[in-house]
Structure 1
């Protein structure tokens, strides 16, 4: 049984949908921290749903500069873009050890043709991703560095909590300050100073394993962000 189905955040499958997804699934893939899951420009025969762990999507400039686009958590779908564009327009790396559910891309057409509820779910996932990217663009364009960092950490904390990634009622995000810099478009020095301000306000604590969130509401207030306000979300 899929370890994500018992989580309250995900809607239940209809019986015929569950039967199809069981056939659609071709196995599971374990990925170690730092491993590349998909490479920009590649053609992959597979789609993946994250079952456990963290990852991130990113693009590289020709000179090696990196822009992190979004972070991946349990329930997120990886590789859909390659189904529509012919090749991946970004790369995916494991931020921690990950377990992925593997699907054959060729069966995606059967999903759209015979299972409109699942087709709607994939549209919802793409729309949800667009919503997050809109907010990220707002951060880069209009939020201050402190507000950007607060928003990013509040968002990741909210998403992580909804899919069971908290431990002892706390969320630790397994990122380095370089990851945050590459997400926010800031230098590493500027990022370090910004994180220090959040620490001084006792909103976060930096640990060896990453950033521990101490005050999610405080981060959200500082970022002037209203939160995700999610209800049930789909799972493929």
Structure 2
């Protein structure tokens, strides 16, 4: 089962014909290397993608060269979907690792939705959930202290990875560097290191050598005041 099917299946119990339509979207596969932007801020007329393997990040670049990472994308996530609908990209997407994607044009989406209307509902749900995550990230940057912000991020990422079979309440593999975490959480790399040490010394979580280990997932969630309801991935709402 692909990550995309796992993700959309959290909202819609996909039928065999709907799975066939999803499979048809896999006809155009492309590889992008880490660090090579696949969508640029201000770009027009680009395709959308579904991330098949690897990790990416979306970010906004400021006039002074600073960047704010808006979110990280994992397998099963759409890349540039909003930009296709709005015709111009308002952010840049960069592979964090080498990635494989499925290239999707607007015509592909319209055809898929015509043949399987409930897929349109599932994609709308996925886009709405992504928007809810951005709201949570805004709250985190604005109101949570650094340790709570990091804890919330690690738990949320774990929940997303668990949905697609790449994580659990014990932990997950994670290729993100402290510099990437800094740009996402509004901290300096030095502060990120200090906060990760704090979480480790509290017996909550360790992030080292590409692995996040949850020592006490329940207490970490409580510390972060993490409420997973905004992720809406408990059971399908449409049978």
**So what's the TM-score if we normalise by structure 1?**
0.85
Deviation at 1:58, TM superposition (A): 0.9
1:217/1:9 CA distance change after superposition, 3 Å: farther
| Deviations 1:182-211 (CA, angstroms, capped at 9, x unpaired) | 111122222222122112113222323254
CA displacement, residues 86-122 of structure 1 (integer Å, 9 cap, x when unaligned): 1111111222232212222333333445543122122
CA 1:233 to 1:58, structure 2 compared with 1: closer, same or farther past 3 Å? farther
Deviation track 1:9-47 (CA, whole Å, cap 9, x = no partner) reads 724433443444344443222233333221111134422
Residue 62 of structure 2 corresponds to residue 79 of structure 1: no
- SS state at 1:192 partner: helix
1:3 aligned residue: 2
8 Å CA contact retained: 1:26, 1:103 = no
In structure 2, the residue matched to 1:50 is 51
User: Which has a greater percent of helix?
Assistant: 2
Unmatched segments (≥5 aa) in structure 1: none
Report what 2:234 is aligned to.
Answer: 231
- Alpha-carbon distance in 1 for matches of 2:145, 2:97: 29
Paired with 1:181 and 1:218, the residues of 2 have a C-alpha distance of 24
Tell me the alpha carbon deviations over residues 130-180 of structure 1, each in whole angstroms, 9 at most, x when there is no partner: 111111111112111111111011111111122122399531222111111
Looking at structure 2, the residues matched to 9 and 115 of structure 1 have their Cα atoms a distance apart, in angstroms, of 13
Give how far 1:221 is off.
1.1
1:167/1:221 CA distance change after superposition, 3 Å:
closer
Q: Report matched runs for 1:87-236 at 5 Å.
A: 87-113=88-114, 115-166=116-167, 170-209=171-210, 211-227=212-228, 228=231, 230-232=233-235
**How large is the Cα RMSD of the aligned pairs?**
2.7
Could you tell me whether the CA contact under 8 Å between 1:45 and 1:105 is conserved in 2?
no
- Cα gap change, 1:179 to 1:44, in 2 (>3 Å): same
- Aligned pair in 2 of structure 1 residues 8, 225: CA closer, same or farther (>3 Å)? closer
CA distance in 2, matches of 1:210, 1:37: 26
Change (3 A) 1:169 1:35: farther
| Unpaired stretches in structure 2, ≥5 consecutive residues | none
Count of paired positions:
233
**Contact in 2 for aligned 1:9/1:232 (Cα 8 Å):** no
Mapped contact 2:56–2:94 kept (Cα < 8 A): yes
